[in-house]
Structure 1
Amino acid sequence: MDFGTNLQLIRKEKKLTQQDLSDLTDYDKRMISRWEGGNTKPNIEAAVVLAKALGISLDVLTGIKPQQAAEPLIDPELSKLLSLAAKLPKKDIATVKEVLRLILGR
């Protein structure tokens, strides 16, 4: 996997937007977009800053070493639905829980 694709994948796994990463690193959002798009690559100093901001090693950022927990623990769509459900009124949350219990047989 190329650097840009790897950077984008890791950023999204960390649930960060390009703007979030920009804020963490002080690199312009447009530069992050160029790195992710493969238009250019960061110098070593920028790569170190990116790795620190993402909480990973340079080996993982560059794709030399795979990230340990690259597989999401929960399906992204299910995670999004659960986040939305958590914002429902308490009565509706109870209904959602009951439906899930019925489906899951618990």
Structure 2
Amino acid sequence: MWLIFTLALILLTISLIVMILASILSMKTINDREKSSPFECGFDPKSSARLPFSLRFFLIAVIFLIFDVEIALLLPVTIIMQQSSIMSWTLVSISFLLILLLGLYHEWKQGALEWAS
């Protein structure tokens, strides 16, 4: 028991030291206007480098990624059906799909799926 506690304490100490060293070494020391400005072939930029980004598009993209990953998690469920009991497979599949549908319903009610407002 003491061996596990000692090893955990040593690992915690080492990880804290590494995190503190990384934060100290990664600090910027000089803020130069030219280094922080966008580089465009040595000339002054004609317009802002920061283009406006649609928050609606970002939300739709995140929702798409979430459902894409969840579909990738659903595909092996059909293969697992042969190795498990039909009752447990049905329960897990229905609960997973129910959580997906509840999340989709919540996003729909919040208005995140409406492109134009």
TM-score under structure 1 normalisation?
0.29
* Greater radius of gyration (CA): 2
TM-score under structure 2 normalisation?
0.27
